[in-house]
Each structure stands twice: as structure tokens, then as C-alpha cells.
Structure 1
Amino acid sequence: MRSHLFVVITALLLACSSDSSSTPDVVQEGTCEVTDESSSPSFLARIGCQKDFNALASEPLDTSIPGARSVKVVLDRFDNDTLYFQNSTRYAIHYEFVSANLSGGGRPIVGSLADFNQTEYYSPDRRFLLGSVTYYEGPDVWALEIAPYDSASASMVTRLYEAVRDAGYFGPALFFHPTSQAVEAEAKNLPTSVRVKTTAELFAAIDYQPLNLATSVGRLRFIKAADLATTYLSYRDIVVLDRIPNDISVVLGIITEEFQTPLSHVNVLSQNRKTPNMGLRDATTNSQLRALEGKWVRLTVGAFDWSVEEVTSTEADAYWEAHKPVPVQLPAADLTVTDLRDLEQVVVEGSGSLRDAIKAAIPAFGGKAAHYSVMVNTPGLPIRKAFTIPAYYYVQFMEENGFYARMDQLLADPEFQAKPEVRDARLKEFRKAMEAAPVNATFQSMLKAKLATDYPGLTMRFRTSTNSEDLEGFPCAGCYESHTGDPSDWEDVLDAIRETWASIWLFRTFEERAYNGIDHKAVVMALLVHHNFPDEEANGVALTANPFDPSGLQPGLYVNVQAGGDAEVVHPPPGITSDQFIYEFHQPGLPITYLSHSNLVAEGETVLTPAQVFELGQALDRIHERFSPAYGPKAGNTGWYAMDVEFKFDGEPGQTPTLTVKQARPHPGRGQ
């Protein structure tokens, strides 16, 4: 059995009905059952004091709420409702404890793990009632929880709640915390004596949110997100922001007063850079941080707490020299490919590994097109027909218009190198020149013929696919910008292509490459081309694994989805929330734990229907398995593995919107 992990993230959550307004009684410790502090019993029948709880508790595998500790509980209905608080460090899951301590010797034999899971979480005639008592330090809440897929009735929950309440010194303060939609629905049938505390209420009492776990040393600066457009940051800054910015140049750490989502653009950047990222309520007025403003500090973002301390400039310089990025070597461009190639033929799978086949395609077609090609050749995966414009034509454009020579002049200019405001201004001029330059006539003829033959009458999306994105070691998610063109207005197509090529020279992207020691002129851009999504009903991002479960004991799919419109998912406008949920696709009943709800749909509704969620789950599962030979367990990876997936739900008027996968790339994880 996989024990329940409490998962909570980063946006204003929709509360279900509860009776949590009543104030719990004061908790008073009683007589301790554990008298020897060095002892660690297999179980206790009662929890008389904090020391008892600590002797049995484990840190939850999910670390999204810092400071939480949990003890699993088992109520044996066969043995007159005997209650066991199990040693949750010694026995990580309920099955391990039950099979070791409650099987045989006059008791019924506990069978296989598979049988146990099927019976003890879904059968109305189950022998055991299973749950966990979790203490959440931030909100100061004691909560009884059952697994999100547990089909226990309200009467079963009440029976377990009352037993735990009566056997724990924390009983007067005990709440029941529903952990999924299904459990929330059943919780509405609980008697008023069982007080309910929602995820929303727990989350509202948390002031610290660890996003990317890391340590770095930099100069602490306070900046308003609105001022980032006119404020230049140093590589060695650690910034405190009032809200989540849509974009930010390279820094060594980020603290936002507004909480983030795991797939926010800022967090993806932090994960790519392996730098600390956290949310902290009232960060801009935090006295500890304000006292260190402008000073060199060491910031540590941990799973359960954070710390900041002043260091000397000598220590800061030594840290930078020891930890500055190792220069990244990009795959050398392959300029021998000149055909406009359909995606089915981009990655050639054969005798070698899938990873080698992807790597072989990147020099000519870029990372995005290579991963897209693998998906196109994945049976049953909904994905649009596409082709690529190879990197050769970007290089041709740059050479024919003298842009490489012009960039050499910029790179040799000391003022350009020394002053970020000068770099920003000169790069804008450079992009403007690219956007007005002529495009090779022979290439234009080829492209016109391709679009007229294979995509007649369709507007087209020209998407970046470089040898410096979606790669191991330098994912650079969001570094470049894609554009749409309408072939009925040919100049519109040329504008889209030139603007997309020019995005190589965006200021933030230039800074990201400089930080990683990348040769700017080594970057080449192919284009991934397909019909665009003009009026999608929903757009989203997802991970093919649970980002809060590095152990694998609570697998799930993480989904962040928003209703169609102008609100983006990864960096929405202020005040806009999206649907975020963990989908336990491999559990019976396919439970969904909603972490937040979109405020762009009616209250009580969700962006996706249950049928659409299942359709998405099937696709994410196929993607996870498909890329495992390149990045996952089938490639020998025993650590974190997930694919970062973008998707849309789109349909013609009057039709039910269906899923289309846009892209997939390996995800770097959330740090250590």
C-alpha cells in the first residue's frame, strides 16, 4: 500500500464545506508511554505526549508543507477495534506494519500487498481502517487523514476519528482533513462531531513555500516585480520580490511574497539554474531579510525551513568561484540538412538508444523538434502534424544579412560587455534589424510550396527549436519566443519567422547563455511548424510524475490547467488562479486531489471534465513510458524522472474539445 502524502501547493484554494470554524480545545500532554528516549517501539496503543508522537513519526514524503510530521494509524476491526499507532519510520507503509505484526498467531493471515490494497481501501467489509495523524507545524493543526483513493464511508471515518481522538493527547484539537475530491464528497456526510479542516484552510496558515531546494550566496536585493523591466540584475543577486514576475534575468536566488506553482516560469528557471527559490508571505517586510538588504548572504531553501545569514565579501567571492556554472558546450550545428522535413522522419530510431537518436537529431532540428518527433511516432498520442525548417536556414539568414559580423562587433565592444543597459539597448536594435531583413528567395519558394500542398488555408505556428533548449544540462525553458503567421498574407509569415529567429537575441536569453558560458554564435535555431491553436478551450502544463514525491511511494500526475483565453498558465496575470491537481492515474478509482481551482470558471466547476482528465492521463502515461528509455528507469535512471508536457484542449464550434499535446521535455526536478 502506498501511504497518503499530503500535497499542497501554491494558489488560493477552493474550500469545501467544513465545521472548522469552531476553536479546538487546548492540547495538554498526559503521561508518556515512551519512557526511554532512545527506544523506538513498533507501535503504541496510545499517544500520551509529544515525545510519544516523535518516537513514531516520520517526515512525510511530500514536503510541500514544511514542518509536517506524520504517524500512520491502523484500527483492527477483527480485534474489537484495537488501535495501533505504528512506527512510521520503521514501517513506511501500512502493509509492512500489518503483515509483520497483525498476521497469524490467532489472527487472520494478511495476504499479498495487491490483495491488501484492493481489500483494505475499497471493500466495505475490510478488516482494517487505515489513516495517518499529521501535525502541521505552520498552521498548528492536528489532522486525521485517509488515502485520497480510500473509499471509506463516513461511518468508517467517524469510527477511526473517534478512536484516534480518544487515544491521543491531541484529541481535543483533532480535525479530519479530506485529501481528494472523493474524500471531500464523503466528508459532507460526517456528523458535526467530526470537525473538518480543508486543504484551503491549512494552506492559508502556511507562510513558507519551498519550491527549489538549494543553497547559494549572493547580494540580497528587494525589488518590485513591476520594476524588473527597468531594473538590471546581477548574476550574483538574490532577489526578494513582492509578486511572481513573468520573467527575470539570471540571479542566484528568488524569494517571492506571492506563492508560486511548481511549473511557474520563475520556478522552472530556478530548477534549470539549480538555484534556491521559495515563497514567503510578507517577505518584503520580513525583519530578518530587511536587516540584510544590500549585504552578501547565504540563502538555503530546505524542504521544511529556510535560513539566511550574512557572509563576508571574501566568502561570497570564494563561493562564486567554486560554484559558478561550468561552461556548457552546445551540440555543433548540422548544416547539411536543407529539406523541409516532416516530423515523422526527424528522429530515426534504430539499433542505438532512444537518447542517442534524439541527440543525433538536435544539431539539425533542435531539441523541441526532436522530442516532438518521438511523440509523433508514439501510437495513440494526440499530436498535430508538423514539419521542420532546419537550422541551415537560420544560419543562411544570418550570413546573407551580415548579422554574425555585426554581432562580432557588439561582443568586442567593452561598453556592451560591461553595462547591462547598453547590452539591452543594442540587442533591441539588433533584433529590430533582423525583423526587417530580407529572407532568401529560394527558401521562400520551398516554404510556400510546402504550406500550399500540406497545410492549405491554415494559419501556422513557427516554434523555436534550438540546440540550446530542452537539453540535459541546459533546458532553457522559455528562453525563446514563437510566432504565428497567415500564409494568405505572405509578409505575415516572413514576420513570424524573422521574429522567432530574432528571439535568440533577447536580453534575458543572452544573459542566461552568458551565465552558463555558452558561445552565443554557437546557437542555431530550427523551426517546428504546425497549424496553430486559435481558440483553444483549455491550455495547460503537466508533469508525468508527482513533483512532491521523490520516493515514488505516492506516484501521480501533476496538472496545471486553465480555461481558454488570454490568461497563461505558467505566468498568469495577478489574481488569476488555475486548476491544479494531482491525478493518481495508476490507483483504482483514479482519484484526483485538487490543489487549487480556476477563478475563470463558475464556482464548483472545473476546467476539464472527468472524461478529459482521463484522456489527459492516458496521454501523459504514454509519454512517460515512451521517453523512459531516454531519460527514465529504462535508461538506468534511478532518481527523479518526469517529462514536462504542454497540452491544449481544442475543438470546432459545437464539438467536444479534445486533447492535443504540444511538446514534452525532460524535467530537472526540484533540487535536493
Structure 2
Amino acid sequence: MRRVVSCHWGLVLGALVCQGAEPARLRFEGFDAAGRPRLGQANASNVVARLEGSVDLVQWTELARLHGPFAGFPDLTATGASARFYRTRLSARTTTDDWKNHAVFPADPLLSPEPGWDRFEPRWLKFTLVLAEPGRVYFQDSTKYLFHYDFAVARLASFQGLGRAAFDAITQRRTNQQAVLGAVLFAPGELREIGLQFAGLDPYPPEQVAAWFEQVTAVIEAPPGTRVFYFPTYEQQAVAEANREFFAQRGIALGSTARWLADDECYSPGWALGRLAWVPPGELSAAYADGRLRPDDLLLLEAVPAEIPPVAGVLTLAPATPNSHVAILARSFGVPFARVAAEAAQAELKTWAGQEVALRVEQDAWGCRVKIVNVQGQLTPAQ
């Protein structure tokens, strides 16, 4: 049964008036740095709150869906109007409540699956920014929905019925772009750090990235002292580095998962045998078309782009993330995928380009183990 909370906040000539009712009072918690009202409510963990706003107490607009208790949630649509009223409508959470408009660090219930006790790796929440709805960030259940596409066509009205190619066309390219896809990475262990990523095949202007960064961080509830970084994807890396000073002036620090994981990283276990192909990320499609890269090759990359052709195995010299499409697909198909961290090992691998190698990627209680053996000339055609 749906329960209605008749709690309204009115901003009238700077005065705040509240009229509350049980079961939980909707609280006004001041203004954020941008001057937007911040709200909180001590709901039970199994409650979904539909936060609504009005300027006249007659017409109400849903502003956000929030799960459980929330604090410091800003109204991203507030524009300094002379009056603004808020209320929440509460209901019990069901299986279809697999998204929300806020995130909670470090233990959000919609996080990706928890790694085993023996694994030190980040967890993540994937999100979608619908450009026509600048007041919302859609965080998806990242255990239930591995990919942005699956979530969007199931839950976001403007994308329902779209095929994968059509969805990619309006989310991965700046021309006619309707949504931005991204992820919030939570640092492993006790580290109070968060990384934000924005996916896209075209580089985004730094001003746009900064605005999206601030939009997402505004709706992440985290303890004081938590640091939030921008983790550029491969396609965004060059622009981010060229504008490092601009981001610093906006209070945005650049980083990568390397600050959390200094050793080899296992993104997908498995083994493979094949020719080691060293291909620049920007040439992958052309190399696959002209035969420089084959399906039975082991691909060695300086960094991992959003998409790669089908290959027998993948090695990267730069950190990737376990939430990437490449990592998820590699795990789905049993393709070994790992990062080699040591500079000496990286240099040696480059000299093996074009030679036959054997790769084994293992993750167990003793950590990540990446074993690469040069077998050039040691195997007969029969073997």
C-alpha cells in the first residue's frame, strides 16, 4: 500500500516553513555550494521515496527516486524561485525498483557484486545522464544490469524499443547525443576514494566533463573527507591531460585505478596460445580488416579503448577497469584479460610482438597471477 507523506518545504522570502507527518519527516538541510536546497529523510532501508517539487502546491513534479534513508540530497532543478515546496510519496521497494537517483558511499545496495574476501578490487555503479533531464542521474542496479543498454531499454522510457546500434549512436557519439553513460568506482578496502568515468567514442570538451562531474558528485552521499577523482577513459585521456590545469581550477583531480592497484590486475581469467600482436588502440579496426590483427591473436595494448575486435586474449600496459565492456565480455566468453604492471615486463613484451606466446591469467586466494611465456619456435604444427 502506498503511503503519502504530507511534508512540504516552502522557500518564501528566504523563510523556511515545514509541516511534517509520520512516518518520517522530510528535513531541510540547508543549501549546497550552488545554492540549491538539500533534503533528507530517515526512511527504512526497504522504502522507495518519490521526491516531488511544486511552486504552487497544486502541480507536483517528480524530481527523484531515492532508496532508504537519504541525507543532503540537492534539488538539481532549483533555479532560485521565490517559493519551492517538496514532498515525498513512500512505497515498499519491489523487484522493479532497480534504479535510483542517488548513490551512497561506501556501501550502496545497487553496487556491482562484492568480490571475494581474497580480492582487492573496486566495485562500481553504472549511471546514465539523460541530457533532456539535467536534474537527474540514473544509477542502475549494477549486479542485475551489466550493461548500460540493458538497463536503459528496460527502465528509461525514451530508450525503450531501441536496438543496440541505435542506442550506441545516441550515446557514444557527440552528434545527436541524447545520453551520457558513465560509472562511479568505489575504492577497495578502507580507502575513502571515488573515481568517475564518462564513456564516449568522441572526446568531450573539458567544460562539459566538469559540468557532468559536478552533477554526479552532487548526488553521491559520502562521509567527510572522501575524495572524488575523474578517471578518464582511453578516448577521453588526451583531452583530460591537455586540460589538467583547467580541471584543477574546478577542483577536479585526475586519476586512474592505478592509484588503488599497483600490481598486475586480472580482469578475466583463462588461458590462450597465439601470436602477440602489438597494435595502437586507434588502429584496431583497420588492423583487423587488413589482417595485421587476427581472431586467434593475443592483443597487446598501450591502453584499452571502449571496444576491441574479437581476439584470443588481451594484455594491457595501462590500468583498465573491471566494469568496462571489454572486461565484461572477456569474462563472458572466457577470454583471458590482464594488465601487466612492471615496467621491465612491459618492455620485454613489446619485443615479443609477432611471436608465439602462451598466456595464463589466474585469480585466487593468493591474488592475481599473470604468466606469459614466449614459445616461439618451440611448438610443431601438430602441437
State TM-score, norm by structure 1. Answer: 0.29
Give the strand-richer structure, 1 or 2. 2
Give the helix-richer structure, 1 or 2. 1
**Pair member with larger Rg:** 1
State TM-score, norm by structure 2. Answer: 0.47
